[in-house]
Chains A and B, each alone.
Chain A
Amino acid sequence: MGRMQDFKRFMSFVGKEFNHILRDTRTLMVLIVMPVVMIVLFGFALSTEIKDVKVAVYDPSRDAATSRLISQIDASEYFTVTAFLDGEDGVLEAFRSNSADIALVFEDNFYHRAVHDSDGRLQIIVDGSNTNIGSMAVFYVSSIVSSFQKELAQEAALNQAAAGGSSSSAEDVQPVQIHTSTRMMYNPQMKSAFNFVPGVMGMILMLVCAMMTSVSIVREKERGTMEVLLVSPVKPFSVILAKAIPYFVVSAFILLIVLCLSVFLIKVPISGSLMWVVLVSLLFILVSLSIGILISTLVAKQEVAILISGMVLMLPTMLLSGMLFPIESMPKVLQWISYCVPAKWYIDSIKVMMIQGLGIRYCLDAVLILCGFLTVITGLSVFKFKDRL
């Protein structure tokens, strides 16, 4: 009987919180629209579809093989040969003036070395500052080169047969070989455009959970309703829990939207297990909620809550989570600080599962650290929250 009544009371609290959220249409729209806009914006700005990639060529050998390969590349719908360079130094200039996105550098005497020495060397230099073109362009060039290599090999075999000589049998075993090597300029790690998706997820979830929860609890303190609740027989713990549940639901909904947009609109391959992506995201939502609750126990004004979640959470999340800048290239001190940013671990593990397509095993440490954050922060806020002041 008492249990039942407690539960009913609790549910009416949850209902009240939902009303608070749903009736504040402006905030709700921001919550839903912001992630959509961010994902769509990043998605379209960083479209991975490539077309008419500008190719600069440095071809000192100018033989039959190089000119055929160049015209094959030019003929493909993906590439347009825009410049013939006079030397390797021209590559940088072409990238800077934006007259080329990638450059092909042949070695001298290419045909001969490819057919007779099995060692034709072709270097593909990519302007890595254009992240979305890079890897795709390399992939397409390589496939054109390898089919060209087969062509050359067949011709060489025919020539051999026509010559009819069994005399040079030792030589004709030598296959035709073109070695391509790829060099990235400006962005040697080839950070994928998709890296933004986990970053945006981390940021949005942190924002919704931590900021919204803390603001909504602090608002009750500010308006005096918290005092009324504390005088009432309601357990303070259930007041807080009732606040956390609706934000958990809203966050899960936002997570769903972001995942759908990522998969169907900008076609991020979720190559790992979707279930684990969702579970780890839910874990991160819990961590963010607990941070929001902790903030709310420490401050008394909504503005302060917003400031803390904005400055103390958002900035480190954006700057130190690896979303914008690679953590590996930061000074040691900043790297250590970044270890204290929960979003870093979340974004890391989502990158591993969504983009690298590895299993949960490869980000188990990050997940365990998130669990640690959850335990410590929840413990702290329970400790800080006193029902009798």
Chain B
Amino acid sequence: MSRGENTRKRIRELLGYTDDGFLREDEVIRTEGLTKCFGDFTAVDHISFSVNKGEIFGFLGANGAGKTTAMKMLCGLSKPTDGRAVVAGYDLHFNSDVKRLKKVIGYMSQKFSLYEDLSVWENIRLFGGIYGMKDRDIAEKTDELLLRLGLTEQRDRMVRDLPLGWKQKLAFSVAIFHEPRIVFLDEPTGGVDPATRRGFWEMIYDAAERGITVFVTTHYMDEAEYCNRVSIMVDGRIEALDSPAALKQRYGASGMDEVFRMLAGRAKREE
């Protein structure tokens, strides 16, 4: 099977279409009818949307709305049951594509995802190595990164000894250390105070300015305001997708939390 897939992929590459036109030039993610079922339960129900290059895309939804499942499909952790999705030029339908996709994306899970018993520097080196970076590049970029984060002094400290806000900043920096095309953030700011969240979002803006597309799930509505566009998922479907300003206008709301409450209130699914 994999040989057949590779051949198809190669033909697609030779023809200059990594995505046979499905993915538009300014887009980095496009899905059509993307669906995931677990037995009888349809966690993600035929969602179709696209994400533009360099965009900060907010993926909103109540717990159980299916946003984590959708995100897991997009970063290759979970195989779609139905529908099509192309991410960074790779079609999720093909296992060989998913393998390549993994090299060009970054991921930060909602659980804090660095190794607590490794030092700051060891974590960076490990993940740099995982993404195939050269030792010299890792060393150079590490110094630069630590300087920027103000963590130079903490280089040899165990990550478990850092305050949570710093851990999250470090985890984000590690997730984009290999300059991915897209970084997926799954509720990255859980459990930290608003001031630290603001600092974190500054880093997200920096990354977006460098051309990294940011795909972020959150349930903090103040964070939704920071996104270029947001989609709101209810019961496995996308109920609304637009810029925060347009959404507020459409629903006659003063803030994103009001919009969210109106849409999420339609949910029939139990949490």
- Give A residues with C-beta under 8 Å from B: 5, 8-9, 12-13, 16, 19-20, 23-24, 223-225, 227-234, 388-389
A9 and B132 contact, Cβ closer than 8 Å, known pairs A227-B113, A231-B102: yes
Pair A388/B110 contact, Cβ less than 8 Å: no
Assembly CA distance A232 to B103 (angstroms): 7
Q: How far is the CB of B244 from chain A (nearest CB, A)?
A: 28
Residue from A23, A227, A230, A232 in contact with B131 in the complex, judged by beta carbons closer than 8 Å:
A232
Q: Quick one: CB contact mask for B94-121 with A, threshold 8 Å, 1 for yes?
A: 0100110011010111111111111000
B62 contacts the other chain (Cβ, under 8 Å)?
Answer: no
In the complex, the answer to whether B102 meets A227 with C-beta atoms within 8 Å is no
Contact of B109 among A13, A224, A234 (CB under 8 A): A224
Q: Name the one of B79, B115, B131 contacting A225, with C-beta atoms under 8 angstroms.
A: B115
Please tell me if the beta carbons of A223 and B129 are within 8 angstroms of each other in the complex.
no
A261 to chain B, nearest CB (A): 30
Smallest CB–CB gap between B199 and chain A, Å? 22
Cβ-defined contact, A227 with B126, below 8 A: no
Q: Which residues from B are CB-within-8-Å of A223? A: 111-113, 116
Residues of A within 8 A of B127 (CB): 232
B75 at the interface (CB under 8 A from A): yes
Instruction: Contact check, A19 vs B109: say whether CB atoms are below 8 A apart.
Output: no
With a CB–CB cut-off of 8 A, which chain B residues contact A224?
109-113
Q: Which residue of A lies closest to B104 (CB)?
A: A233
> Which of A20, A234, A389 is the one whose CB lies under 8 Å from B77?
A389
Task: Determine the distance from Cα of A5 to Cα of B135 in the docked complex, in whole angstroms.
Answer: 11
Whether the Cβ atoms of B111 and A234 lie closer than 8 Å is no
**Closest residue of B by beta carbon distance from A222:** B111
Q: B222-271: which have CB < 8 Å to A?
A: none
Inter-subunit contact A12/B77 (CB<8 Å): no
A228–B185 CA distance with the chains assembled, in angstroms: 11
Is there contact, CB below 8 Å, between B115 and A16? yes
A-B contact pairs, 30 of them (CB 8 A): A5-B132, A8-B129, A9-B129, A9-B130, A9-B132, A12-B125, A16-B115, A16-B118, A16-B126, A19-B122, A20-B115, A20-B118, A223-B112, A224-B111, A225-B113, A225-B115, A227-B109, A227-B111, A228-B108, A228-B113, A231-B102, A232-B102, A232-B107, A232-B127, A233-B99, A233-B102, A233-B130, A233-B132, A388-B78, A389-B77
Name the residue of chain B whose CB is nearest to the CB of A228: B113
Residue contact B131 to A233, C-beta cutoff 8 Å: yes
B46 within 8 Å of A (CB atoms):
no
B105's contact among A5, A9, A19, A231, by CB below 8 Å, is which? A231
Decide yes or no: A12 and B129 within 8 Å by CB, A23-B117, A227-B107 being known contacts: yes
Top-3 shortest CB links A-B: A224-B111, A231-B107, A224-B109
| Smallest CB separation, B100 vs chain A (Å) | 8
* A16 to B, closest residue via Cβ: B126
Query: B72 at interface (Cβ–Cβ under 8 A)?
Result: yes
Q: Which of B154-188 contact A (CB under 8 A)?
A: 184
Contact between chains at B75 and A234 (CB < 8 Å): no
- How does the 8 Å CB contact mask read for B1-28 relative to A, with 1 for contact and 0 for none? 0000000000000000000000000000
Q: Other than the known A12-B129, A233-B99, what 12 A-B pairs have Cβ atoms closer than 8 Å?
A: A12-B130, A23-B117, A223-B111, A223-B112, A224-B110, A225-B113, A228-B109, A228-B113, A232-B102, A232-B107, A233-B103, A389-B77
Known: A16-B118, A23-B117, A224-B109. A231 touches B132 (CB 8 A): no
**Is B76 among interface residues, defined by CB-CB distance under 8 A?**
yes
* Residue among A9, A230, A233 with max Cβ neighbours from chain B (10 Å): A233
Task: Determine how close the nearest CB of chain A comes to the CB of B127; give it in whole angstroms.
Answer: 8
How far, in angstroms, from A353 to B118 measured CA to CA in the complex?
43
